[in-house]
Amino acid sequence: MSAVHFRRDFPFFQHHPETVFLDSAATAQKPQAVIDALTRFYAEDCAPVGRSAYKAARQADRRYRTARQTIARFLDADAAGIIFTKSATESANLLARAFARPKLCKGKNIVITAWEHNSNYLPWVEICRESGAELRVARPVSGPDFPVVLDTLTDEHTVLVSCTAASNVLGDTIPLAEISALCRQKQIPLALDGAQYVAHHPVDVQTLGCDFLFFSGHKVYGPTGSGVLYVRPELLDEMAPFLLGGGMICGDDPECYAPGAGRFEAGSPDTAAFIGLAAAIDYLNTLGRDAICIHEQALARQMQDGFRALSHRVQLLGQPAPDASVYTFVCPGAHPFDLACLLNGHGIAVRSGKMCAQHLFDALGQPLGGVRASLACYNTAEDLHRFFNGLEDALNRLQRK
């Protein structure tokens, strides 16, 4: 299937035919199939879930249950361990509060890395501060260093390792198999932040060997307001409820919480968002995960060739893997914000700044942040051709001064 075909499925590009959208790491555009699923729910099937016996409500229950199964299959996970949240951010906070916080006290520690998005950084800072536990931050120089630095920081007092599966700043490969082998060997639960991973790689939580994995639906072509926290089902009983309210109790006893994932989904859910997320996953499966990977790898090669040709003027941060989907760069003499504005003048959408990873940019010695171009299945070779032409033009203007 050609890239042009992928692109045709996304109405955004009919409304913005001249836009080169290279900000999918922030949020991905939505295929028509997702928009249709949302519209159908609101127009034809709108009803509460898990609460009522009438026909439309039972239909909504079925759709919602099917959505959970679709998402479980997408991760090769047991549907019992799929908790619906509103975002990766909420998932990380739930994990921190429900699983880790009750186990933390002085003498215990949590291990994360310096490559985390604030969503997988600040919840740990806060619960360690509250409990007197220690937050240990692994500082790898590049992707291959992750297992070694994590090994030196973990010990018998480590309650959890929470690590990004793919950084939102650096495109380096992170050796997930080695990290999970290390955690298994040391019997430490492992959480993976999959926010930048799941749209670009087939995911199988059994092979990944993680105990938790979370992501946001909107970065995987689904609706905003949909997020997932996968929990290895055996661990669910170790977790305390996070939000309290309707729909999370067992029978009539308000103090007996529902078993399994239901205990963590208090209140009326964003039903449409999860039906939309399941539609996004069905759409990806229809395109074929392999076809998407092959297409994105070709784009990654073109990206890396383009940056190599400009290496005298542009510094790419990190060492992007052959299939990297994010490219963050800095250019001597050009402020990232100015570059992003000039690229916008060429119809090119990129992100500039510190991408919610201030501590990483500090560690990289980049006080102004950088510019990030990120890929998705709808990008084309022509997009990247225009991006590099636009970048050269922006550099000619800014670096001349």
Ligand X SMILES: Cc1ncc(COP(=O)(O)O)c(C=O)c1O
- Cite the active site residues: 356
Query: Residues 109, 120, 162, 325: which binds ligand X (CB under 6 A)?
Result: 120
Q: What is the DSSP code string of 59-97?
A: HHHHHHHHHHHHHHHHTT--GGGEEEESSHHHHHHHIII
- Whether the Cβ atoms of residue 63 and residue 73 lie closer than 8 Å to each other: no
Query: Residues 195, 213, 248, 277: which binds ligand X (CB under 6 A)?
Result: 195
CB of 112 to ligand X, least distance (A): 12
Query: Residues 23, 61, 172, 193: which binds ligand X (CB under 6 A)?
Result: 193
Measured CA to CA, the distance from residue 41 to residue 239 in angstroms comes to: 32
Measured CA to CA, the distance from residue 279 to residue 10 in angstroms comes to: 14
- Judged by CB under 6 A, does residue 354 bind ligand X? no
Q: What are phi and psi of 325, to 5 degrees?
A: -110, -10
Measured CA to CA, the distance from residue 319 to residue 340 in angstroms comes to: 22
Q: Quick one: which segment of 125-133, 179-187, 193-201, 302-310 binds ligand X (CB under 6 A)? A: 193-201
Query: Residues 30, 68, 108, 117: which binds ligand X (CB under 6 A)?
Result: 117
Question: For ligand X, which is the closer residue by CB, 165 or 266?
Answer: 165
Q: Quick one: which segment of 115-123, 230-238, 342-350, 381-389 binds ligand X (CB under 6 A)? A: 115-123
- Residue among 194, 377, 390, 208 at smallest CA distance from 294: 377
Question: For ligand X, which is the closer residue by CB, 249 or 350?
Answer: 350
Measured CA to CA, the distance from residue 388 to residue 350 in angstroms comes to: 12
CB of 198 to ligand X, least distance (A): 11
Question: For ligand X, which is the closer residue by CB, 29 or 216?
Answer: 216
CB of 119 to ligand X, least distance (A): 4
CB of 169 to ligand X, least distance (A): 8
CB of 184 to ligand X, least distance (A): 23
Q: What is the DSSP code string of 246-266?
A: TT-EETTEEEEEPSGGGGG--
How many residues touch ligand X under the rule CB under 6 A: the total is: 12
Question: For ligand X, which is the closer residue by CB, 208 or 334?
Answer: 208
Question: For ligand X, which is the closer residue by CB, 135 or 258?
Answer: 135
Question: For ligand X, which is the closer residue by CB, 28 or 188?
Answer: 28
End-to-end CA distance of the chain: 45
Region of residue 27 (phi > 0: left; psi between -120 and 50: alpha; otherwise: beta): beta
| Burial readout 261-282 (b: 16 or more C-beta within 10 A, e: otherwise) | bbbbbbeebbbbbbbbbbbbbb
CB of 217 to ligand X, least distance (A): 8
Residues 48-107 that bind ligand X (CB under 6 A): 87-89
Residues 200-259 that bind ligand X (CB under 6 A): 216
Q: Cα–Cα–Cα angle for 220, 49, 280, nearest 5°?
A: 15
Question: For ligand X, which is the closer residue by CB, 122 or 310?
Answer: 122
CA distances to 47, 48, 369, 388 from 378, rounded to whole Å, are 33, 34, 27, 18
Measured CA to CA, the distance from residue 287 to residue 9 in angstroms comes to: 11
Residues 136-175 that bind ligand X (CB under 6 A): 164, 168
Measured CA to CA, the distance from residue 278 to residue 217 in angstroms comes to: 9
CB of 24 to ligand X, least distance (A): 11
Contacts with ligand X, residue ranges (CB under 6 A):
87-89, 117, 119-120, 164, 168, 193, 195-196, 216
